[in-house]
Chain A
Amino acid sequence: MSDATRIQERKQRPTTGRIATYLGAFTIAFWILFPIWFMFSMAFTTREEVRSFPKSVFPFTPFSTDTMEFFLGVDGVMSGLINSIIVAVITVVLSTVISAPAGYAISRYIFPGRDLFRLGVLAVRAFPVVVLSIPLAVLFIRANLFDNILSVALMHTILTLPTTILVISSVFASVPYELEEAGQVFGASPWQSFRHIVLPLVVPGIAAASVLTFVLSWNEVFAASVLTLENRTLPALLLNQLSQSGPAYQFAGGFFLMIPSLIFMFVIRKYLFNMWGQVSK
């Protein structure tokens, strides 16, 4: 580590390279943040301001919760929001409960079929959502589960399961097996050493995986639109009303959809690389 720091220090001379790095960093940050800022200012202003032209771009639009209140008051939005949350929660629970044992198995055991299972999981992950939604909708209609938020949750579980399995297996892999073994040497049963040694170490990682699952389910719009008609989730509702609604509804809705990712990406930022680094291998 000290070598690395030495190199970092040497690099930190104010050279053109340094200036270029900061220029790049701030330019990219601006490119990402400015649209979000604009969307935020449109979501939290008066409805007159949203309709007006030209809009006051710099520095502030008049702050008001008018637009957002209007959006949340529109018929169906509240039930869509509740549906979205229920779907995401069921997805998180199902996905975690099913993935955790599987993730543990592929990180701790070598068994015939392990590579096949891993490969299968990767194949599912690379699969287009669009391709799976139609046949699943047809099956759910036959099973009388159509337009039921449970069917959306099952679909979202399939979408998130592979990612969750791979992330959780990498979380377990980061806890050395020696720790578990040491517990057993000192007389703990395999279950006890798992419960008291491994579990506390992996809970944060699994929680991060759950947060990612929540965001994936919250964001998903294609399958939710295909599988529901009346019991829409929020994104599906928004998608289908987009063409018949005014800018206040659209902008407030758009920003509202972003809120979970803004919060949760902050919560799981440390785990981001563990997750995607592992998953992309």
Chain B
Amino acid sequence: MAVITPRKKKRSLTPYLLIAPAVLFLAAFFAWPMVQGLILAVYDDEAVLPLVAEASIEADRTGELPQGAAVAILGQQGNTIDGELTSDLLTEQWFRVTGTDPDGADVDGWAPETRIRVRDEASDGTPIGGTVRPVLGENADPLTPIRSEPTERADVIAQLEQRAPVEIAEVTVLEVWFNVSAVDEDGQAIEGWAPSRFIRAFENGEEGRVDRGTDGQFTSRFVEKMLDDRFFGPAWRTTLLLMVLIIPIQFVLAIVMALVIHARPKGTSGFLYVFSLPMGMSDLAVGILFFSIFTSNGLLNSILDLFGLIGDNPPTYLGADTRGWIIAAIVLAELWRATSIVMVIVVSGLQAIPDETLEAAELFGASYWQRVRYIMLPLLKPSLQVALILRTILAFQVFAVVIALGGGEIVTVLANETYRQYFELRDNNVASAYAVFILLLSLASSVFYLRAMRSQNEVAES
């Protein structure tokens, strides 16, 4: 049908301008996300937590700890919040207090909530007055240092006695930083500070572990997690099993359908419409369709009942103990749904075979079967190859039919596990690892088919 058209040969920018929107769209919503997806599967952007010498983001690094490392908590300190203030953040309040020191001089500076007891609040809950907390312990300094800035590192500008009354002029919220010591991956003991949001402290307050890091690192953790997943084995085995069961039957059926159309019965266009109907159908709808057939009070049991083949209790096909039946139902549903597309490709291929060729064969006495076997099938090879690659790639993605017929637990496939990791377990990284696995399988099978077909041709030619 492709009419050979002379094309404009002159060099110009026009074609580039015409394809530009498509190229940009594909780059933004296909190429870029794909790169991100590959990265998600092998890169952990919370892998490493750096420790710094002081409770400040500008301080020098003293070392780094992997996610999950056990730490001993030596102390804590407030620091300006770097990043979002979330409700679960461990925080510390600092008050700007004014009062009088033991010598009678006016004092105006900052002290943490551990040193000031709030005794007076404004109507909206803002603390406005309080007293200096008494100092506990025998050796402790009875005076409370007041600093120039709301941080322990700031200069001490004055000191207040315990129980001295103060007015609170300002309140600021700081994030708690932990001073931790731990053994890093190289077995060296390190010590340093890190914001408390990255460290989960245990109840005794002296130990904890690194909850998540801030620096990324390439890791095989997600791939390993996928391989260890209890659904991984069943998922890829079932996906391959379905492929092996479906594709051969599908191709035989599609070729039969195409030959029927090619023989041009009366009303060919009507038959063609009916044969290609499932092609446009939603896989979910087809899943539900076969569910309505195989469910225990569905079509199949109704027909069996009509002939008196079942007793009072209609058998269950889509239950937890009937894995075989569920697989059979999925195979039938996929045969019903996806054979049409193969048929359309095969019919296109058949139409490209010149009538003269078949006529000549007929004149030389070739039977119909011989014409199919020795003329049509060899000439259909390129079409079948395309259909095979297309069907295989689609077979790795089978999803809605499996959910509709098996619920996704008893019988599971790779696409369903990707969905489960993403949706139920909220693990984007492992979901991406599954996605990359599907991609690699698709690529590998395409290359395999192309190789196999080529080497076959070479054998035939030599």
Residues in chain A near residue B8, CB distance under 8 A: 108-110, 177
Are A269 and B269 within 8 A (Cβ)? yes
Are A250 and B5 within 8 A (Cβ)? no
Q: How far is the CA of A111 from the CA of B393 in the complex (A)?
A: 31
Are B34 and A132 within 8 A (Cβ)? yes
With A109-B7, A135-B432, A235-B282 given, is the CB distance from A35 to B289 under 8 Å?
Answer: yes
B: interface residue count bin: 35 or more
With both beta carbons as reference points, the residue of chain A lying nearest to B345 in the complex is identified as: A280
Are A110 and B9 within 8 A (Cβ)? yes
Are B25 and A31 within 8 A (Cβ)? no
Are A53 and B33 within 8 A (Cβ)? no
Which stretch of B124-132, B158-166, B206-214, B400-408 is in the interface?
A: B400-408
Q: Which of A174-197 contact B (CB under 8 A)?
A: 174-178
Which stretch of A74-82, A85-93, A237-245 is in the interface?
A: A237-245
Residues in chain A near residue B288, CB distance under 8 A: 39, 238, 242, 250-251, 253-254, 257
With both beta carbons as reference points, the residue of chain B lying nearest to A269 in the complex is identified as: B273
Q: How far is the CA of A108 from the CA of B5 in the complex (A)?
A: 8
Q: How far is the CA of A155 from the CA of B273 in the complex (A)?
A: 29
Are B18 and A3 within 8 A (Cβ)? no
Give the shortest distance, in Å, between A44 (CB) and chain B (any CB): 13
Residues in chain A near residue B347, CB distance under 8 A: 273
Q: Which of A1-22 contact B (CB under 8 A)?
A: 3-4, 7-8, 11, 17, 21-22
Are A17 and B419 within 8 A (Cβ)? no
Give the shortest distance, in Å, between B453 (CB) and chain A (any CB): 15
Residues in chain A near residue B5, CB distance under 8 A: 107-108, 173, 175-178
Q: Which of A87-106 contact B (CB under 8 A)?
A: 97-99, 101-102, 104-106
DSSP class of A's interface residues: helix, strand, loop or mixed?
helix
Residue-wise interface mask of A (104-147) relative to B, using a CB-CB cutoff of 8 A (1 in contact, 0 not) = 11111111011001001100101111111111111100000000
How many A-B residue pairs lie within 8 Å, measured between CB atoms? 324
Partner of A132, one of B33, B278, B282, B446: B33
Residues in chain A near residue B351, CB distance under 8 A: 273, 277
Are A54 and B305 within 8 A (Cβ)? yes
Give the shortest distance, in Å, between A191 (CB) and chain B (any CB): 12
The verdict on A45 contacting chain B, using a C-beta distance below 8 Å, is no
Residue-wise interface mask of B (13-41) relative to A, using a CB-CB cutoff of 8 A (1 in contact, 0 not) = 01111110111011001101110110010
With A57-B303, A225-B419, A226-B422 given, is the CB distance from A101 to B19 under 8 Å?
Answer: yes
Are B19 and A243 within 8 A (Cβ)? no
Are B403 and A265 within 8 A (Cβ)? no
Are A273 and B348 within 8 A (Cβ)? yes
Q: Which of A225-281 contact B (CB under 8 A)?
A: 225-226, 235, 238-239, 242-243, 247, 250-251, 253-255, 257-258, 260-262, 264-266, 269, 272-274, 276-278, 280-281
Residues in chain B near residue A57, CB distance under 8 A: 299, 302-303, 306
With A222-B400, A222-B415, A280-B386 given, is the CB distance from A174 to B1 under 8 Å?
Answer: yes
Are B419 and A226 within 8 A (Cβ)? yes
Residues in chain A near residue B345, CB distance under 8 A: 276-277, 280
The verdict on A161 contacting chain B, using a C-beta distance below 8 Å, is yes
Residues in chain A near residue B3, CB distance under 8 A: 173-176
Q: How far is the CA of A178 from the CA of B7 in the complex (A)?
A: 10
Give the shortest distance, in Å, between A3 (CB) and chain B (any CB): 7
Residues in chain B near residue A215, CB distance under 8 A: 280
Residues in chain A near residue B256, CB distance under 8 A: 24, 28
Q: How far is the CA of A276 from the CA of B386 in the complex (A)?
A: 11
With both beta carbons as reference points, the residue of chain B lying nearest to A261 in the complex is identified as: B280
The verdict on A199 contacting chain B, using a C-beta distance below 8 Å, is no
Give the shortest distance, in Å, between A32 (CB) and chain B (any CB): 6
Given known contacts A57-B303, A161-B26, what 15 new A-B pairs fall within 8 Å (CB)?
Answer: A25-B271, A54-B302, A109-B12, A111-B16, A128-B397, A131-B438, A138-B428, A158-B26, A235-B400, A242-B288, A251-B288, A257-B281, A257-B288, A258-B281, A273-B347
3 closest Cβ contacts across the A-B interface?
A135-B37, A254-B288, A261-B280
Offer 16 A-B interface pairs, CB within 8 angstroms, sorted by A. Answer: A17-B368, A55-B302, A101-B21, A102-B22, A109-B8, A124-B26, A126-B393, A132-B37, A137-B422, A138-B40, A226-B423, A235-B284, A239-B400, A239-B404, A273-B347, A278-B1
